[in-house]
Structure 1
Amino acid sequence: MRRTKAEAAETRAAILAAAEQMFFEKGVSNSRLEDIATAAGVTRGAVHWHFANKTDLFLELYSAVQLPRINMLDLEQANEKGCDPLAFIEAAALNWLDLLSKDQQRQRMLTILLRTNFTGELERVQVAVDALDAEQTQTLTEMFEKAASLKLLDQQWSARSAALALKWLMKGACWEWLLTGQKYELAEAALGMKTLIASFRKL
C-alpha cells in the first residue's frame, strides 16, 4: 500500500511538472491533456485519475506557489517583539521581492498567469486569483488601520488608499519585470517601495 501511494504521488508530481513547463512554453489554452500526459510519461487516463480537467490541474499548480500571504497573526506576533505595522509591512514586501527574484518556479507561474486569458473553462482560476487579491487587500488595509490607530500613518493617506498604492506598486513592478524579460533588477523596485512606505509614516 505504501508503494502504491508513493507511486501515485510521484505520478501526480510528474504531471504537475510537465503541465507547468507546457503552460509556460505553449500557453494554457494551447496545452492539451494528451500532450501533458506524454511529457509526463504517463497515460491520459492517469492524468484524469488525478485531475478532472485542465482547470483543476492549473488550480493545483497555482495553490502551490501563491503569493506569500501577509496575515494579521504575523503582525500581532511582530507587535509583541516591538515591531510597528509599517516596519512589518516593509519587511514583508522586501521579502516577497527577494523571494520572487530567486524562485524560478514562482516566476514561471506568475508569468503564466499574466499571459493567460481566463475565460470559459478557466474562469474558476480567475475567481481564485480575485479572491486571493481581495483577501490581501483587506489584510493590508487592516494593517494600515492598525498603524493609524497608533498615530503612525500620515493624514494624507487613508488605510485603504495606502493599501491599494502599495499593492499597485508591487504588482506593477513585478509584472513588468516578468513580462519584459527581467531587464532590470528588482532591487530598483525595492527602492521605490521603500520610498512609498516612507511617505506613509507620520513625521
Structure 2
Amino acid sequence: MRRCKAEVEQTRQRLLDAAERVFSDRGYAIARLEDIADVAGLTRGSIYWHYEGKPELLEAVIERSWFPWDQLPLERAGAQPLPGIEEMAAVLGNGVQRTLSVPHLRRCAAILLQGHELRHISERVQARLQGMQQRIRHYVSLVLEQACVGRLAGVERDALARAVGVFMFGAISEALLLGLPGEQFPVGREVERFILALLFPCVAGG
C-alpha cells in the first residue's frame, strides 16, 4: 500500500512538472494534454486519472508554487519587527531576483503572468496572483506607515505601495518577455534601486 501511494504521488509530480514546463513554454491556451503527457512520459489517460482536465492541472501547478513574497505578513501583528525602507527594498529586490533565477519559480511566474489567458479559466489562479499583489502592497504600506510616523496619508501610502508592486511585476514580465536569464541580469537590484528612489524622497518630504 505504501509503495502504491508513493508511486501515485510520483506520477502526480511528474505530471505537474511536465504541465509547468508546457504551460510556461507554450502558453496555457495552446497547450494540449497530449503535449503534457509526452513530456511526462505518460499517457493522456494518466492525466485524467489524477485531474479532471487542463484547468484543474493548472490550479495544481500554481498551488504548489511558493514565491518569496508569500511569506510577507498580512497583518501588523505578524509584521513585527517591521524593517526599514532599505531592508524592505532589499527583501523585495531579492525576491524578484530569486523568482527569475530559480527555474521552477521562473516557470510559474511565466504562467501566472499570462493573465489575459487565465482570468476566465480559473478563479483560484486569478486569486493567487491578486493575493500576491495585495500582500506586497500591504507590506510596503505597513513599512511606510512606520517610516513616515503619520506624515503620509493612507491614500498616499497605498498609491506608493501600488507603484512598487506594479514595477516589480512589470520588471518580472519584461525579463521573461526578453528571455533574460535571472542569474546574469541584476533585475532584483534594479527593483531595489527603484523602490529606494521612489520612497525615500516621499518619506523625507512628507
TM-score by length of 1: 0.79
Distance, in Å, in 2 between the alignment partners of 1:192 and 1:87 is 11
> Conserved in 1, the CA contact under 8 Å of 2:97 and 2:186?
no
For residues 36-78 of structure 1, give each alpha carbon's deviation from its aligned partner in whole angstroms, at most 9, with x where no partner exists: 12321223232122222211211222122354222145521x3
Q: Which one scores higher on RCO, CA 8 angstroms, separation ≥ 6?
A: 2
Aligned to 2:134: 134
Does residue 1:75 correspond to 2:75, yes or no? no
* Residues 104-123 of structure 1 mapped to structure 2, 5 A cutoff: 104-115=103-114, 117-118=117-118, 120-122=120-122
Residue 185 of structure 1: aligned partner: 186
Secondary structure of 2:204's counterpart equals coil
In structure 1, how many angstroms separate the alpha carbons of the residues matched to 2:137 and 2:11? 36
Matched residues in 2 for 1:147 and 1:191: separation?
Answer: 18
Structure 1: 5+ residue stretches without partners: none
Matching residue's letter, 2:200: A
Superposition deviation, residue 159 in structure 1: 1.7
Query: Which letter does structure 2 place at the counterpart of 1:176?
Result: E
Comparing 165-174 and 116-125, the one that deviates more: 116-125
Aligned counterparts of 2:121 and 2:193: Cα–Cα separation in 1: 40
Distance in 2 of aligned mates of 1:5 and 1:171: 38
Could you tell me how far apart the structure 1 residues matched to 2:50 and 2:146 are?
Answer: 44
The AA in structure 2 aligned to 1:192 is F
| Pairs within 5 Å for 1:38-187 | 38-67=38-67, 68-69=69-70, 70-71=72-73, 72=75, 75-76=79-80, 78-79=81-82, 83-84=83-84, 86-115=85-114, 117-118=117-118, 120-122=120-122, 124-148=124-148, 150-151=149-150, 158-182=156-180, 185-186=186-187, 187=189
Partner SS for 1:177: helix
**Unpaired segments of 5 or more residues in structure 2?**
none
Cα-to-partner distance string for 1:71-113 (whole Å, 9 max, x where unaligned):
145521x34xxx44x3442232122123124212222222233
